[in-house]
Amino acid sequence: MSTPKNRTVEARILRVNHGGEHGAIRIYRAQIALARLRAPDLLPFLTRTLAHEREHLERFRALMPTRAAKPCRLMWIWSVGGVALGGVTGVLGRKAILVCTEAVERTVHRHLDDQLAWLGERDAEMAATIHDIQQQELGHLRYAEKERGAPNGLTALLDATICIAVEALIWLSTRGDSLRLARTLRAAA
Protein backbone atom coordinates (compact mmCIF):
# COMPACT_ATOMS: atom_id res chain seq x y z
CA MET A 1 0.00 0.00 0.00
CA SER A 2 1.28 3.47 -0.76
CA THR A 3 1.23 5.96 2.05
CA PRO A 4 -0.61 9.18 1.42
CA LYS A 5 1.36 10.94 4.18
CA ASN A 6 3.65 12.86 1.88
CA ARG A 7 0.90 13.81 -0.60
CA THR A 8 -1.59 16.60 -0.19
CA VAL A 9 -5.28 15.82 -0.41
CA GLU A 10 -5.42 17.99 -3.55
CA ALA A 11 -2.69 15.88 -5.19
CA ARG A 12 -4.49 12.65 -4.24
CA ILE A 13 -7.78 13.95 -5.67
CA LEU A 14 -6.12 14.98 -8.93
CA ARG A 15 -4.33 11.66 -9.25
CA VAL A 16 -7.50 9.60 -8.91
CA ASN A 17 -9.55 11.91 -11.14
CA HIS A 18 -6.89 11.90 -13.85
CA GLY A 19 -6.72 8.09 -13.72
CA GLY A 20 -10.51 7.84 -13.85
CA GLU A 21 -10.68 10.02 -16.96
CA HIS A 22 -8.08 7.77 -18.57
CA GLY A 23 -10.36 4.82 -17.79
CA ALA A 24 -13.44 6.64 -19.12
CA ILE A 25 -11.63 7.31 -22.41
CA ARG A 26 -10.86 3.58 -22.75
CA ILE A 27 -14.48 2.66 -21.97
CA TYR A 28 -15.97 5.04 -24.53
CA ARG A 29 -13.38 4.20 -27.19
CA ALA A 30 -14.16 0.47 -26.88
CA GLN A 31 -17.90 1.16 -26.92
CA ILE A 32 -17.62 3.35 -30.02
CA ALA A 33 -15.78 0.56 -31.87
CA LEU A 34 -18.52 -1.95 -31.00
CA ALA A 35 -21.48 0.43 -31.25
CA ARG A 36 -20.83 0.79 -34.98
CA LEU A 37 -22.39 -2.66 -35.29
CA ARG A 38 -24.43 -3.02 -32.11
CA ALA A 39 -25.94 0.42 -31.48
CA PRO A 40 -25.17 2.93 -34.25
CA ASP A 41 -27.76 5.40 -32.92
CA LEU A 42 -25.55 5.90 -29.83
CA LEU A 43 -22.49 6.92 -31.85
CA PRO A 44 -23.11 10.71 -31.74
CA PHE A 45 -23.55 10.59 -27.94
CA LEU A 46 -20.55 8.30 -27.40
CA THR A 47 -18.31 10.37 -29.68
CA ARG A 48 -19.32 13.63 -27.97
CA THR A 49 -18.80 12.05 -24.56
CA LEU A 50 -15.36 10.72 -25.51
CA ALA A 51 -14.35 14.26 -26.53
CA HIS A 52 -15.52 15.53 -23.11
CA GLU A 53 -13.54 12.85 -21.25
CA ARG A 54 -10.39 13.73 -23.22
CA GLU A 55 -10.91 17.36 -22.28
CA HIS A 56 -11.41 16.40 -18.60
CA LEU A 57 -8.16 14.41 -18.63
CA GLU A 58 -6.27 17.46 -19.94
CA ARG A 59 -7.88 19.79 -17.44
CA PHE A 60 -6.97 17.59 -14.46
CA ARG A 61 -3.47 17.13 -15.87
CA ALA A 62 -3.05 20.90 -16.18
CA LEU A 63 -3.80 21.39 -12.46
CA MET A 64 -1.16 18.85 -11.39
CA PRO A 65 2.24 20.61 -11.59
CA THR A 66 1.35 23.52 -9.29
CA ARG A 67 -0.09 21.09 -6.73
CA ALA A 68 2.83 18.65 -6.73
CA ALA A 69 0.53 15.97 -8.11
CA LYS A 70 1.64 13.15 -10.36
CA PRO A 71 -0.39 10.83 -12.54
CA CYS A 72 -1.17 7.46 -11.09
CA ARG A 73 1.66 4.99 -11.71
CA LEU A 74 -0.73 2.12 -12.30
CA MET A 75 -2.45 3.68 -15.29
CA TRP A 76 -2.40 0.31 -17.07
CA ILE A 77 -5.05 -0.87 -14.59
CA TRP A 78 -7.37 1.81 -15.95
CA SER A 79 -6.47 0.84 -19.54
CA VAL A 80 -7.25 -2.84 -18.99
CA GLY A 81 -10.33 -2.19 -16.84
CA GLY A 82 -11.69 0.48 -19.18
CA VAL A 83 -11.31 -1.67 -22.29
CA ALA A 84 -12.88 -4.63 -20.45
CA LEU A 85 -15.90 -2.64 -19.25
CA GLY A 86 -16.38 -0.89 -22.59
CA GLY A 87 -15.75 -4.09 -24.57
CA VAL A 88 -18.12 -6.34 -22.63
CA THR A 89 -20.95 -3.80 -22.54
CA GLY A 90 -20.34 -2.92 -26.20
CA VAL A 91 -20.75 -6.58 -27.18
CA LEU A 92 -23.89 -6.88 -25.06
CA GLY A 93 -25.44 -3.99 -26.97
CA ARG A 94 -27.34 -0.74 -26.60
CA LYS A 95 -28.95 -1.23 -23.21
CA ALA A 96 -25.73 -2.51 -21.63
CA ILE A 97 -23.77 0.45 -23.01
CA LEU A 98 -26.26 2.85 -21.43
CA VAL A 99 -26.34 0.95 -18.12
CA CYS A 100 -22.52 1.16 -18.10
CA THR A 101 -22.60 4.91 -18.77
CA GLU A 102 -25.14 5.41 -16.01
CA ALA A 103 -23.22 3.31 -13.46
CA VAL A 104 -19.85 4.88 -14.26
CA GLU A 105 -21.12 8.45 -14.35
CA ARG A 106 -23.12 8.02 -11.15
CA THR A 107 -19.99 6.77 -9.37
CA VAL A 108 -17.95 9.65 -10.77
CA HIS A 109 -20.61 12.15 -9.73
CA ARG A 110 -20.59 10.90 -6.14
CA HIS A 111 -16.80 11.12 -5.91
CA LEU A 112 -16.80 14.64 -7.35
CA ASP A 113 -19.50 15.68 -4.87
CA ASP A 114 -17.35 14.53 -1.95
CA GLN A 115 -14.32 16.33 -3.41
CA LEU A 116 -16.25 19.57 -3.89
CA ALA A 117 -17.59 19.46 -0.33
CA TRP A 118 -14.03 19.11 0.97
CA LEU A 119 -12.47 21.68 -1.37
CA GLY A 120 -14.90 24.47 -0.51
CA GLU A 121 -12.78 27.61 -0.36
CA ARG A 122 -9.52 25.68 0.02
CA ASP A 123 -8.63 25.74 -3.70
CA ALA A 124 -10.99 27.85 -5.74
CA GLU A 125 -9.39 27.08 -9.11
CA MET A 126 -9.54 23.34 -8.59
CA ALA A 127 -13.08 23.48 -7.21
CA ALA A 128 -14.24 25.51 -10.23
CA THR A 129 -12.68 22.99 -12.63
CA ILE A 130 -14.23 20.02 -10.83
CA HIS A 131 -17.61 21.76 -10.70
CA ASP A 132 -17.44 22.48 -14.42
CA ILE A 133 -16.49 18.90 -15.26
CA GLN A 134 -19.18 17.56 -12.93
CA GLN A 135 -21.82 19.41 -14.97
CA GLN A 136 -20.70 17.61 -18.12
CA GLU A 137 -20.60 14.26 -16.29
CA LEU A 138 -24.14 14.96 -15.14
CA GLY A 139 -25.14 15.46 -18.77
CA HIS A 140 -23.73 12.00 -19.60
CA LEU A 141 -25.62 10.50 -16.65
CA ARG A 142 -28.94 12.14 -17.55
CA TYR A 143 -28.71 11.01 -21.18
CA ALA A 144 -28.07 7.41 -20.12
CA GLU A 145 -30.93 7.48 -17.60
CA LYS A 146 -33.31 8.85 -20.22
CA GLU A 147 -32.30 6.50 -23.04
CA ARG A 148 -31.74 3.17 -21.30
CA GLY A 149 -35.42 2.30 -20.89
CA ALA A 150 -37.04 0.50 -17.98
CA PRO A 151 -34.69 -1.35 -15.64
CA ASN A 152 -35.03 -5.09 -15.15
CA GLY A 153 -33.28 -7.76 -13.10
CA LEU A 154 -30.46 -8.12 -15.61
CA THR A 155 -29.76 -4.42 -15.93
CA ALA A 156 -29.83 -4.05 -12.13
CA LEU A 157 -27.26 -6.86 -11.86
CA LEU A 158 -25.10 -5.31 -14.58
CA ASP A 159 -25.36 -1.90 -12.91
CA ALA A 160 -24.27 -3.30 -9.53
CA THR A 161 -21.41 -5.26 -11.13
CA ILE A 162 -20.12 -2.19 -12.97
CA CYS A 163 -20.30 -0.04 -9.82
CA ILE A 164 -18.25 -2.63 -7.93
CA ALA A 165 -15.80 -2.91 -10.84
CA VAL A 166 -15.30 0.87 -11.00
CA GLU A 167 -14.71 1.16 -7.24
CA ALA A 168 -12.31 -1.79 -7.46
CA LEU A 169 -10.40 -0.09 -10.29
CA ILE A 170 -10.18 3.12 -8.28
CA TRP A 171 -8.98 1.18 -5.23
CA LEU A 172 -6.42 -0.87 -7.18
CA SER A 173 -5.03 2.05 -9.18
CA THR A 174 -4.54 4.11 -6.02
CA ARG A 175 -3.22 1.05 -4.17
CA GLY A 176 -5.84 1.40 -1.50
CA ASP A 177 -5.65 5.17 -1.10
CA SER A 178 -9.16 5.75 -2.49
CA LEU A 179 -10.78 4.50 0.73
CA ARG A 180 -8.50 6.57 2.94
CA LEU A 181 -9.12 9.59 0.73
CA ALA A 182 -12.91 9.12 0.94
CA ARG A 183 -12.67 8.98 4.74
CA THR A 184 -10.49 12.11 4.83
CA LEU A 185 -12.87 14.03 2.57
CA ARG A 186 -15.95 13.11 4.59
CA ALA A 187 -14.31 13.72 7.97
CA ALA A 188 -13.03 17.18 7.11
CA ALA A 189 -15.79 18.47 4.81
Q: Kindly list the residues in this chain that would bind Fe ion in the complex (CB under 5 A).
A: 21, 53, 56, 137, 140
Alpha carbons 51 and 43: distance in angstroms, whole number: 12
Strand spans (E) along 98-174: none
- How near is the Cβ of 140 to Fe ion at its closest, in Å? 4
- How near is the Cβ of 53 to Fe ion at its closest, in Å? 4
Give the residue with the Cβ less far from Fe ion, 2 or 59. 59
Give the residue with the Cβ less far from Fe ion, 67 or 140. 140
DSSP 8-state code for residue 7: S
- How near is the Cβ of 55 to Fe ion at its closest, in Å? 8
Alpha carbons 85 and 163: distance in angstroms, whole number: 11
Give the residue with the Cβ less far from Fe ion, 10 or 137. 137
93 CB contacts (<8 Å, ≥6 apart)? 38, 39
Which residue in the shown chain puts its C-beta closest to Fe ion? 56
- How near is the Cβ of 85 to Fe ion at its closest, in Å? 13
DSSP 8-state code for residue 64: S
- 137, 112 contact by CB (below 8 A): yes
Give the residue with the Cβ less far from Fe ion, 2 or 33. 33
DSSP 8-state code for residue 174: T
Alpha carbons 97 and 85: distance in angstroms, whole number: 9
Strand spans (E) along the chain: none
Give the residue with the Cβ less far from Fe ion, 2 or 61. 61
- How near is the Cβ of 157 to Fe ion at its closest, in Å? 22
